[in-house]
Amino acid sequence: MFVVLKNKLNIILCYILVFTLLFVANSVTSIASVATSPSNKFCVVLDAGHGGVDGGCVGSTGVTESEITLKIAKKVEKYLDALNISVVQTRNTADGLYGVFASGFKMRDLRAREEIIKKANPDLLVSIHLNSYTSPSSRGAQVFYAKDSEVSKELANSLQELFQKNLVQARKSALVGDYYILNCTNTPGILVECGFLSNPEEEALLISDEYQDKIAYNITCGVLNYFDLTQF
């Protein structure tokens, strides 16, 4: 069982580590330079929510949840790749996983994701979504975890702390969430609601490449804390 680290020093080290490795991977030498890190034993399934006819929630600009979740998932993959953590994406394109669009497509889509998780047998699952609410004033990123999973709760709390420190008006606390994608597996996991598309200011942030990157960066740090990688 991995230990979730919470102290500030490790969080700072985590940021330095990610930045350094990405700099090395992107500009100086090949990714092979970090291939011997102890992180290569880990596998993470990234689940970009929705897709295809199921766009999820929609912002006032017409942007869909499914577009943004895919972009954030790909950014997290880039960071984890640089750290030699293997990644399996439930989807790599704008398409859903339901096959033919017909009655029951949503459950087929979820079951296809479940199959991918089972086949990958990862150490961790991170599902990425965006929120929406009738009141446009609701805003803020929030992390959810399945009840009865203590390690998922610890990861969710540590990532929520990072969001609170680094994002504008993140929600105060992580919560238990009753989601199929979390309940369908014993793999520890979290569902990240990265913000509210129903809030115009947050929608503007969520559309921006810079803010998507910031969220991806924080998710990556949460994952690293979970795997205790800041110790090497």
- Contact status: 91 vs Zn ion (CB under 5 A): no
Q: Closer to Zn ion at the Cβ: 84 or 142?
A: 142
CA 167 to chain centre: 15
Q: Closer to Zn ion at the Cβ: 49 or 189?
A: 49
Q: Which alpha helices (DSSP H) does 83-130 contain, by range?
A: 105-120
- Contact status: 56 vs Zn ion (CB under 5 A): yes
Q: Closer to Zn ion at the Cβ: 56 or 96?
A: 56
Q: Closer to Zn ion at the Cβ: 122 or 195?
A: 195
* Only segment of 23-31, 53-61, 94-102, 134-142 that touches Zn ion (CB under 5 A): 53-61
Contact 126, 42 (CB under 8 A): no
Give the shortest CB-95-to-Zn ion separation in angstroms.
Answer: 16
End-to-end CA distance of the chain: 18
Q: Closer to Zn ion at the Cβ: 129 or 153?
A: 129
Question: What are the Cα distances from residue 105, in Å, to 43, 63, 102?
Answer: 28, 22, 6
Instruction: Judge residue 93's burial from the number of C-beta atoms within 10 Å of its C-beta, 0-12 exposed, 13-18 middle, 19 or more buried.
Output: exposed
Number of residues that bind Zn ion (CB under 5 A): 3
- Contact status: 195 vs Zn ion (CB under 5 A): no
Give the shortest CB-64-to-Zn ion separation in angstroms.
Answer: 10
Give the shortest CB-194-to-Zn ion separation in angstroms.
Answer: 10
112: number of Cβ within 10 Å:
16
Measured at CB, which residue is nearest to Zn ion?
129
Q: Of residues 31-50, which lie at the interface with Zn ion (CB under 5 A)? A: 49
Strands 43-48 and 124-131: parallel
Position 37: which residue type? Answer: S
Q: Of residues 98-137, which lie at the interface with Zn ion (CB under 5 A)? A: 129
Contact 126, 182 (CB under 8 A): no
Report which secondary-structure segment, H or E, holds 192.
Answer: strand 189-196
Q: Closer to Zn ion at the Cβ: 49 or 59?
A: 49
Give the shortest CB-56-to-Zn ion separation in angstroms.
Answer: 4
User: Interface residues with Zn ion (CB under 5 A)?
Assistant: 49, 56, 129
